[in-house]
Amino acid sequence: MKLKLSFLVSIFSFLLYAQSAPSYYSGVDFTQTGNGLKSQLATLITTTHTQTISYSAGLASLFKTSDADPENPANILLMYGSQSSGTHQRSRPYSGQWNREHVYAKSKGTPNLGTSGPGADGHHLRPADNTLNSTRGSLLFDDGAGAAAYKTSRGGWYPGDEWKGDVARILMYMYVRYDARCLPLNITMNPNTYSADFPDILLKWNIEDPVSDFERQRNNVVFGIQHNRNPFIDNPYLATLIWKGPAAQNTWPDTFSGGTSSDTEAPSVPVNLAVTGTTSSTISLAWNASTDNIAVTGYDIYVNGVYKSTVSTNSGTVTGLAASTTYSFYVVARDAAGNKSANSTAVDGTTDADQGNGGGTGTGTTCGTEDFEKIPSTGGTPPASSYGDRTWSNNGIVWTATNTRTDTQIYIDGTSNKAICIRKGSVKSSVISGGIGSLSVKTYLPFADSAGNYTLKINGVVKGQIPYSKTAKNQIIENINVEGNVVIELIDESTSNRVSFDNLSWTCYEKLAADDVAVSNRKITVYPNPVKGHEFFISGIDKNETVKVYSVNGQLLQTISNVNNNEKVNMTKLPKGVYFITTKTQSAKIIVD
């Protein structure tokens, strides 16, 4: 059997590297697209699926060959693995501990996939670490970044950079082969903007993580037993033809035109990484944009050698840091094909000292923070997963929350950073000295509720609305400007939406002197507006102001320091559209033409 499989692997590897569709697909009309092409591929991979594999002995035997580590054939590669040992081990002896992972979770099938048919399809199941398989459970697939698999802030599952393309093409196969029993929208998180029946995330992963030699090996070995193939491993561009979206790689250019050729060129290394701003819990970074033969799609930020976040522009802010602490940062550029640059030169940054609850000057220095790490979340009454009233103390402030849960399912930034989730309730501080100038808090909807707003009250007076949605985001309320003792309260008494909060911070406020009041009463003016040539003049500001440029969804795109009144401001090249600029006390809308 091994000799026969090796022979088949060699033959089909040769065929798949050809420039036209192999004979297996000779009956498919590739002038078709959309559901017409999907239907033809479904007929092909169903009628040629003439041999089934048993769940226990059959899959165990299959994995020994199909999932053999090319660099160590005595080992098998484990789905979601990324490390040399431990739970996230990537390559493990076949005789070691592992079990069978249903990439399309059994319970999400309509009906349950079980352990036969789709629940034992060799193109579907993969060996995985027992614990990692259990951690994933039946979580829906969600986007993320980094080598390691993990539960996302939205409560989904990111399979890791190496495996997300595999997942995408497995789920494409399952939908075409088993139709309504394996609907892709039932196993992934929104949105689905390109096709009514197919999620964007899988089309994205199909491009970002191209087909590997290991996937080709699996496809060939499974074909040798089941006699059907996964078409999306043979040619990822078939997904584009069926469900639209960005063009994937076309491995059969002699059969039909379109798609992209294989992209193996990595972006250039980001240079001139620098710290552009600090608070007691955040450090802002900026760097020169990388270049790529096609396009740079994002930058991964690493803190002390560990992946932290991904941003789409050449700047970002790292949150959740400890006060008076030095951190090391580097950045990696990535493109749509999953190619990554080498690490940028590292730069060190030190957070500001914690200001505690002392007085301030209204200049934006962080006055206090609440990270919810000391909130009772395990044991006791009520349990962490139940909504109830909770009281805790941190940094000399007593906090009271009503109708609140604290279990890991509602966390925003991974499973090690606590958060709270409030349902028709509030979180309220004791009396805090030093006043309040502005407030920042991260919000997120962990469940299927609609977007809305929480009310911010200071000393019982409404001072602003805090938006929340399914996108985790830092929300900032500026110009609160209440001096003296304050009580902070976030409250919603009108809806039952379940809203998570984390990383609450505020600046101190002290009444401004007469000259400063005159400055703050000025109205800033931007001209010309619309902005042409990515430069404009700004008036109505003080000396050495910091001007920040934001997208309409609140993402910080650029920080320009030391700007003076009636001075020209040069921005990084931005696409045409609407943006917001902010100064210390004001904001204005600009249009880039």
Q: What number does CATH give the domain 514-592? A: 2.60.40.1930
Please state, in angstroms and rounded to a whole number, the distance separating the CA atoms of residues 68 and 226: 18
CATH number of 366-507: 2.60.120.260
CA dist., res. 441 & res. 359, Å (int): 21
Give the residue-averaged pLDDT of 238-254: 92
Write out pLDDT tens, residues 30-45.
999 999 999 999 999 9
At 260-299, the pLDDT tens digits run: 656 678 899 999 999 888 888 888 888 998 988 776 777 8
Helix axes 34-47, 164-178, angle to 10 degrees: 80
Comparing 57-61, 156-160, 534-538, 587-591, the range with the smallest average pLDDT is 587-591
Measured CA to CA, the distance from residue 269 to residue 290 in angstroms comes to 6
Res 554: pLDDT: 55
Residues in the chain: 593
Q: Which of 80-84, 125-129, 160-164, 476-480 has the lowest mean pLDDT?
A: 476-480
Give the C-alpha separation, 80 to 167, whole Å.
10
Q: Is the pLDDT of residue 520 over 60?
A: no
pLDDT at 101 over 50: yes
Q: Is the fold of 271-350 the same as that of 514-592?
A: yes
First to last CA, the chain: 66
CB 491 within 8 A of CB 463: no
Query: How far apart, in whole angstroms, are the C-alpha atoms of residue 442 and residue 500?
Result: 8
CB-neighbour burial class of residue 71 (10 A; exposed 0-12, middle 13-18, buried 19+) = exposed
Q: Where are the alpha helices (DSSP H) in 209-304?
A: 213-226, 231-234, 237-243
CATH assignment, 271-350? 2.60.40.10
Domain spans of the chain? 2-243, 271-350, 366-507, 514-592
- Residue-by-residue DSSP string for 160-191: -TTTHHHHHHHHHHHHHHHGGGG-GGGSB-S-
